[in-house]
Structure 1
Amino acid sequence: MERIALRRSLQIGCLAGGGTAKTCSSPLPIPNGVVDVPPGSKLAVNTKAEYRCNTGYQLVGVAERFCQMDGTWSGQEPYCQAAFPTTTCPPLGPIVHGEVTVEAGPIHVNTRAEYRCDIDYTLIGDKERFCQLNGTWSGKEPICHDANADTCPAPPPIANGAFDIAPGPIVVRTRIEYRCNAGYALVGQKERVCQLDGSWTGTAPVCQVSCPRPSPIANGDISVPGGAILPNTPVQYSCNPGYTLIGMQVRLCKADGTWSGTEPFCQSGTGPRNCPAPTPIANGDVDVPPGPLVANTRVLYRCNAGYTLIGPSERLCKPDGTWTGAQPVCQSGSGPRICPAPGSIPNGAVDLPSGTLVVNTRVQYRCNAGYTLIGTMERVCQPDGSWSGTEPVCQAAAPSPTTCPAPGPIANGAVDVPPGKLVVNTKVQYRCNAGYTLVGMTERICQADGSWSNTEPMCQGQNEQSTQRQ
């Protein structure tokens, strides 16, 4: 039965200069053992706590701890471990280019074996191993590695980028750091580490085309996601109160690293919404009123004698600074009926056949990547010189959510990955096998650029020694 005994007394510690030292709270009891301390809930500086174990158990750690000036107990809390049976471990074999030294006598529990390597060789793995209760040795047998030879192969180059690595042999824990050329963004792990088995952690990242951050606009704002701006990433423009956006509200990063469309601007809500001067027409004239071409300004088209106007006879300046309809043409009265060239559409294109646009000529509309066609895809030149249907528009498509690649496994540990797609803000958890400690972050998060936050952690053996060359 577990037994805990506490002896208590009241003490007050004084510091030089008249100050009063902090006191310690009673230490916690330990399973299968006893902590002897003076009575009282506040124990003065230098108060001693003595630890002892019940029959059949032995103390692992310090037997005494003292209350310190800062109100904490010295050392680490010991624990009581079942007394060792008469277990023995098998003798250890030699290692190539090194030797193992074992304490003389029977190899009982806690017998220590120490490894060391010949000159010019580096120990990779545990320097010490211990005989365990189950009759096996702790850890794994280390190896002696040629200090002048590579452990891992040189990593292959990456397109549109490079990596930095320290000169000399590529030994365990050598780190490489990747970077991309201007105009490219790193997708994947920025850093990889040479492992004991001669492989690199993770997978090589890629350098993907990225767009420059768009310039700010006067009297407005741009909503831009954080991190690298990869193809199909949208940015959204808005204007301050009292201003109107003239142009595209949304632009997309294109596959060639440029932005779709043209940059919009914010125009004062009380100022004129000017249109550009209309283009002159062959064999005809455009009547343009004097002064600024503000919203609702009307222009009239007419043809010279012997020519017929094909298209609208008038066009209006729209609030967004563009003209209604398509520009008309003046056609000879004796020639075949033709249609005017259809106007271009924002965020898309019109495929025109070569030659004159005569009756029954067909034109097709298409949209840029990231946009969806709203309206008819095809229009036909009609006998009256107009185009069938109405002009379609290209509407921004909802961007698909960014996903991250599955994180690679870690040596001597595991990664807990949730089911389904690894979308932005998905979290993965890292943990280590028994006898190993996680070095690094326990959690990583999928970021908007398709990479994982932080760097991949590693599981380190409790007695593992660093062998990375400086």
Structure 2
Amino acid sequence: MPTYFYFLLTLLKSINLSFGDADRSHELEPDNINCPVTTFPRPPFCRKPCSHQEQCRRGNKLCLCDGECGLSCISKSINCHPLVDLPNGYIQTPTGFLFNSIAEYGCDLGYILIGPSQRRCQGNKEWSGSRPVCRPLLKCGPPPEIPYSIYKLSPTSSINEENELDSEAHYSCISGYRDTSQTKNKIKCSLNNKGIAFWEEPKIVCKAQECQDPGIPLNGFRSGDNLQFPHTIEFSCAPGFNLIGSAQRMCTSVGEWSGEQPLCKPIECPRPTDPLHGAVIGSSLSFQSVVQRICLAEGVWAGQNPYCEEIKCPPLPIIWNGYVEGDDTSYGSIVVFRCFEGMSHIGAPFAKCEENGKWSSNVPKCLANCKVPKIRNGRLGQFSDGELIPHGKKVKIEVWHQCWVFAICWLRLRAFKILAPAPGYHSLIIICFLNGAGGNFSPELASSRSTGWHGD
């Protein structure tokens, strides 16, 4: 029984201890509470970031403050390498070379420290900052660096980048830059009121050479607005225009543009060839010039090649009882219309083929004569039976017992061509007979086929 209680007590102590350690594992070291918050991105030499101890259990590490890296997982067994001696000075490391140890730098009498006075052992096993140097109080280091400038020392002798009092540095701007300060361009190594050597503040200001605004070509574009050395601008043209000159120009070190000033010239199409039996009219071959075709932006003509077609009038219809004299139907030709002998010519005597491909006149009509028919109980005025009367002539019909009518000779075109003059044929057979009412006679009209009489 006592053995059982002893075992239980040991187990409870073990559990208590574990819980206690677990609780303390989330606590941070007192020095970590005020650790600076790191900026992003973190320096490449920093270790894994953390916010509590649980994140650093693997590898037996602790969540510690590592300077500019902020809270990081660090092994407490870290040691930095020993520091190299400082000529004309000394180094003090009160806590040795462990993590977060501080190395303090100082210079001997007559020298001044140039660089950081303290360096810290970091989590990457390297000391922070750069190694300082001790320079004599009566000597200057290298002259100050001025952007886009170089300097020349006088006297030229310089040992370990240390320059004697009254040494001078003559500044000048590098190629492509010019001094805009309008002040002296040299400085001297002098003593300040504390007896320490220093370089005077240089006044030189070097600014890039600037080229004049080259403008924008008509019907073109420009990319880039910085007109200073060594910047470049680019030119391009609108569709339908070719760039003549430099598409890219750089502002050179002497303040002038390289290349040639560009122009945007309209694209020209090759002159179209003359069509057969025709000619090309117009002298402008530029983009969007319009004749009957348009010059496109690609430098080619739109549409099909034109051709010239001879103007011809259509064949004339057949003239019944007549004919056409001349068979040329081309533009400007003239044909004459003829009627057979004994026919009446009604219409134009000729026709001309005009520019629109049409004849100036329609074909005429050639009308035949009417033959006097036999009339019962009457006659056609003074004309005898079988006599020919011209088309359109009016005659008086005389009938017995004072009954009369008028007839007009007219022609109905036949459905076949008459190759020789022929007498007319009447279409109305006039018959006068006794009506039996009031002693008046009325003519009787009967139809025939071709030419004949028309009664009023």
Query: Where on the TM-score scale, by shorter chain, does this alignment land: which range?
Result: under 0.3
TM-score (norm 1): 0.27
TM-score (norm 2): 0.28
Bigger-Rg structure (1/2): 2
| More helix, by proportion | 2
Higher RCO by CA contacts (8 Å cutoff, separation 6 or greater): 1
